[in-house]
A and B are shown apart, each in its own frame.
Chain A
Amino acid sequence: MIINHPLLGPRDAAEFIYLGDAALIDRPDWQAEDAMQQFHDYAYLRDNPAGPHRELWYHEQGDRSWLVVTRDTTTHEITDVQMARDVARSRGRDK
């Protein structure tokens, strides 16, 4: 597979490490009343769609950036690649 890195252009997926569902960015609030339940869901429950999937890839043999790649799990078509840091910020993550 080829991942079109937003900064570096198309690179072989062999340079990357796969993590999985980009929902891992949305880490729960540790002080929430139901933090235990939320963290349980965060750690263990994942959607496994047949179709477009937003997922985390790490450019380990590259610039060490984490990317959010939208990939169709049935065709491997990649329709979008973003820097995960930007995604995290846009989802309200801070310090």
Chain B
Amino acid sequence: MPDYTLISTPPLAGYDKIFGTTRLHAPADLAIVSIALPLGAEDAALKAVKSAYGAALPEPGRSTLTKEGARLVRLGSDQAFVIFTHATPDAERAVATRLKGTAYTTDQTDVWTGLEITGPDSRTVLERICPVDLHRDAFAEGDAARTVMEHLGALIVRTGEDTFLLLSASSSANSFLHAVETSIRNTS
């Protein structure tokens, strides 16, 4: 037994609140690993992703939910995120192992903080901070966009009919939560 044990205290751990018909919560054990496609060897990496996850890496601005519940988000031409539930601090290794060295992987779990907003008014709430068009037809389920909300970089993914996953920097998690909560209060 080691003499000392480290305890995990992610910034918004356990946050879960209902505001009228809107629920805002921080999903537990959200792991994020970035995938970079090697220049000139993209095809091998894409193939590996497909065989590892049973789903092709989507186009930039789109995401795919795999059968096992991992979300593959394509951020740009050579970069993607795998977002999945994973409690231990070895998410990067878990992804790297499956991709068998065909892509570069970096652990992003603790770089980000995640908030999921759901409810019929979620768009009305987000309209106060998100410059991206979230209309049902303009931002389909699975669509993803990196943008800026209240001066903070953010990744927004539409994960359901009225549900959005928001990721922003973990160091400013409190400010980000405050921004979303303020939007809910201002529009309720």
Residues of A within 8 A of B (CB): 7-9, 11-12, 14-15, 60-65, 83
Chain A residues, CB < 8 A from B148: 14-15, 61
Q: How far is the CB of B44 from chain A (nearest CB, A)?
A: 20
B77 touches A14 (CB 8 A): no
Is chain A's interface secondary structure helix, strand, loop, or mixed overall? loop
Contact call A8/B131, Cβ cutoff below 8 A = no
- In the complex, number of A-B residue pairs with CB atoms less than 8 Å apart: 36
CB distance from B134 to the nearest CB of A (A): 14
29 inter-chain pairs at a CB distance below 8 angstroms, sorted by A residue, are A7-B60, A7-B61, A7-B77, A8-B61, A8-B145, A9-B61, A11-B132, A11-B147, A12-B131, A14-B131, A14-B148, A15-B131, A15-B147, A15-B148, A60-B153, A61-B146, A61-B147, A61-B148, A61-B153, A62-B145, A62-B147, A63-B60, A63-B75, A63-B77, A63-B79, A64-B76, A64-B79, A65-B76, A83-B77
Nearest-neighbour CB distance to chain A for B138, whole angstroms, equals 9
Interfacial chain B residues near A8, Cβ < 8 Å: 60-61, 145
A7-B61, A12-B131 known; A63-B147 Cβ under 8 A: no
Size of the B side of the interface (Cβ < 8 Å), in residues, is: 13
- Interface residues as binary, B16-44 with A (CB distance below 8 Å gives 1, 0 otherwise): 00000000000000000000000000000
What are the 3 tightest A-B residue pairs by CB atom distance, in nearest-first order?
Answer: A63-B76, A61-B148, A7-B60
Shortest B39–chain A CB gap in Å is 10
| Set of chain A residues within 8 Å of B153, measured between Cβ atoms | 60-61
How far is B79's CA from A65's CA once the two chains are assembled, in angstroms? 11
Distance in angstroms between the alpha carbons of A12 and B148 in the assembled complex: 10
List 17 additional A-B contacts (Cβ < 8 Å) besides A7-B60, A63-B76.
Answer: A7-B61, A7-B76, A7-B77, A11-B147, A12-B131, A12-B147, A60-B153, A61-B146, A61-B147, A61-B153, A62-B145, A62-B146, A63-B75, A63-B77, A64-B76, A64-B79, A65-B76
Give every chain A residue within 8 A of B75 (Cβ-Cβ).
63
CB-CB < 8 A to A83: which residues of B? 77
List which B98-136 residues lie within 8 A (CB) of chain A: 131-132
